[in-house]
Each structure stands twice: as structure tokens, then as C-alpha cells.
Amino acid sequence: MATRRINGTPPPPDRPTRRVGPHRMIGITATATGALVLTAVIIATVTAVLPGDTCAPNATCTAPATGNASTAIAAASRWLGTPYSWGGGGLDGPTRGIGRGANTIGFDCSGLTRYAWYQAGVTLPRIAADQWHALPHIPPGQQAPGDLVFFQSSGGGPDDPGHVGLVLDANRMIEAPGTGLNVRISRYTTRQDLTGYARPAHNGGGSAVADPPRERCCQTSPPRRRQARSSVRSRKNAGSSSRPRSRAR
């Protein structure tokens, strides 16, 4: 099996076509022609509003994807079938992760959404919780293709989501789900841990935000608290310098 390169090269090898809904087929291919076909199929999927299929119960049908949302969706769709890698995913595509993802080239959930929207001209924060806090929130039922859908982390509160996906329509999203799984299309409306929705800038939301340090890459692990020895020394020095000095007579 050939090793897949990352920057500027096609995604994973040919995969069989699979049915994902009435009258819809998504083929996952690796050739340049196949990538264009996949992009066209995904965009056609999210721009077509079919009664009873793209509308969740008691929810309003989503509007067709805008140009920038279509770009983000097509970018994420290009990597369907790519392995999940904790801490993986950069602005140019899948990368080797860190920690338990150190041996896998792929995306984690927020790495995928960040990559997708970067292709549409928006730079998002690296971890899911920061993406949630940086963007304007959207009421349930008003989410549109390209919006981000967030899920509560285990042990965390509703304002500290640990997972994020990219909305395709009123029922489905593209996500990097977790270790041992691949980037996929799945339903989000049936999940009990759904926190809410947020809208990136070029999808009608707020402004693009700065890129935080990579050390905070991973959505399921709290940032490590490290205290440098130099900071301890600086406090000691500050304390000694505050003591009154006797004046020379």
C-alpha cells in the first residue's frame, strides 16, 4: 500500500461508492478527476433541499450553502475516510498528531473544521472550545450548511464543548469523530450531547480570529499547567526589590 503524502497531493486511495440517503450517492476517490466529482456531489447534496430528508423534525429547512460555505464543505469532504489523529490537522491538510495521535497522520475534530474554513478564507482557533467562544452562536433550527455544530465534552459543561463538526444540512455533518475512526458524514440531530451552533465569518458570522499556539491543539484534553522556574525566580526577585533600601548619608 503506497504511503499517502500530505502537502499538495491527493487524499486517500479509491473507495467504493456508498449510499447516504434517498437519491444520493457519495463516491470517495483520490484522483484529481475524482476529487472534482466528489466536490460537485457534496455541493449538490447541501444545496438541494429535499422535503423529509434534509429537514429535521419540527425544524426549518436549511438554506442552500453560500459560496464560502460550499468551499469549506468541499475542502472537508476531500478528506472523507482520513484517519482521526488527536492533535492532527493543519491549515494545509492532515498532519501527524501528538500524544496518542503521534503515530497517525490525519485530523482531529477541530483540526478538520479549522482546515475547511481556512480554505474559504477564515482562520479559526485551534481547539473546539475556542472556536465556540470566538464565533456568534446560531439558534437551533437556523443552522446553515458550513456552520459549526458543537458537542459537550465528557465531564464538561455546555459552555465548554469538546467536539465540533461541519454542518452539511439540517441533519448531517462532516466530522473527525475520534481515535480509531475516520472522517465521516454522520447525523448530529439525534445526539444528546449537542451544545449548539456557531457561524464563521464568511458564512455571515463574525470576524476571523488569530491562530493560537499549537500546544492547545486538542479538544478533549485540558491545557497542561506548567510553571517555569524562571517565573518563580522572578517573583522572588520582585519581592526582594520591594524591600526599602537605606539611604547613604
Instruction: List, by residue number, the catalytic residues.
Output: 109, 163, 175
Distance CA 168, CA 94 (A): 21
Residue reference for cell 518563580: 232
The three cell numbers locating residue 149: 455544530
State the greatest distance between any 2 C-alpha atoms of the chain, in Å, as a whole number: 95
The three cell numbers locating residue 208: 476571523
* Cα 25 to the center of its chain, rounded Å: 24
The three cell numbers locating residue 177: 469523530
**4: how many CB neighbours lie within 10 A of its CB?**
14
Distance CA 227, CA 46 (A): 48
